A and B are shown apart, each in its own frame.
Chain A
Amino acid sequence: LAKTTQPISMDSYEGQEVNITCSHNNIATNDYITWYQQFPSQGPRFIIQGYKTKVTNEVASLFIPADRKSSTLSLPRVSLSDTAVYYCLVGGGTVGNEKLTFGTGTRLTIIP
């Protein structure tokens, strides 16, 4: 049973806000929700992490509803350099829950 489900791909125009949603219906009480960005030929890079409600940093916002069964990564005013694959990761937070597995990710393409 997949821990996370994301759209396979998304397209957006430069300057728009992009929202990528991840479903994690079986999230455990102590699981964190973490998003990563990966460019071709590079390792994934941490973007943002949250547990509940809303988290914002200098590059993105993360919205988590009360039931925590989904989360939405929001990228404001995207540019061509935001073209990448974005992964949602659910896990951690508890001893014995260190087996961190990734889903298929969302390939985001920014159009000029």
Chain B
Amino acid sequence: NAGVTQTPKFRVLKTGQSMTLLCAQDMNHEYMYWYRQDPGMGLRLIHYSVGEGTTAKGEVPDGYNVSRLKKQNFLLGLESAAPSQTSVYFCASSYLGPGRLANTGELFFGEGSRLTVL
């Protein structure tokens, strides 16, 4: 199993350009998350999904859109990139816990995607 795979790992954009980050997990997890981490800072939740076809806003959703058309994939889009979106983006997935009602908070992270917006 590859676990959680993020594509691309590095990208440089110019202000105003658009791009999509892809997160793929092969663990059949129900939940998927996108976080951003600025240098020397903690992780901030952008958007998350509790299942195929669902998305929800996190702490810092502005400027980003997401889609979960397939259970194994969670896409993060930047429609018009800004320098403030320069960051490392981490995707994570999580499984249904006991009773198969909700997750437990055990997250499996990808290696990150480093995005620079000039």
Interface footprint category on A: 20 to 34
In the bound complex, residues from chain A placing their C-beta under 8 Å from that of B4 are 43
Category for how many chain B residues contact A: 20 to 34
Q: How far is the CB of B33 from chain A (nearest CB, A)?
A: 7
With A43-B112, A98-B50 as given contacts, are A103 and B105 in contact (CB-CB < 8 Å)? no
Which of A31, A42, A46, A104 contacts B107, CB < 8 Å?
A46
Residues of B close to A36: CB separation below 8 A: 107
Which B residues lie at the A interface, using CB under 8 A?
4, 31, 33, 35, 41-45, 48, 50, 56, 58-59, 88, 90, 92, 94, 97, 101-112
List 24 interface pairs A-B (beta carbons < 8 Å), by A numbering: A30-B102, A32-B106, A34-B104, A41-B88, A43-B110, A44-B90, A44-B107, A45-B109, A90-B105, A92-B102, A93-B97, A93-B104, A93-B105, A94-B101, A97-B102, A98-B94, A98-B103, A99-B56, A100-B94, A100-B103, A101-B45, A101-B59, A102-B35, A102-B44
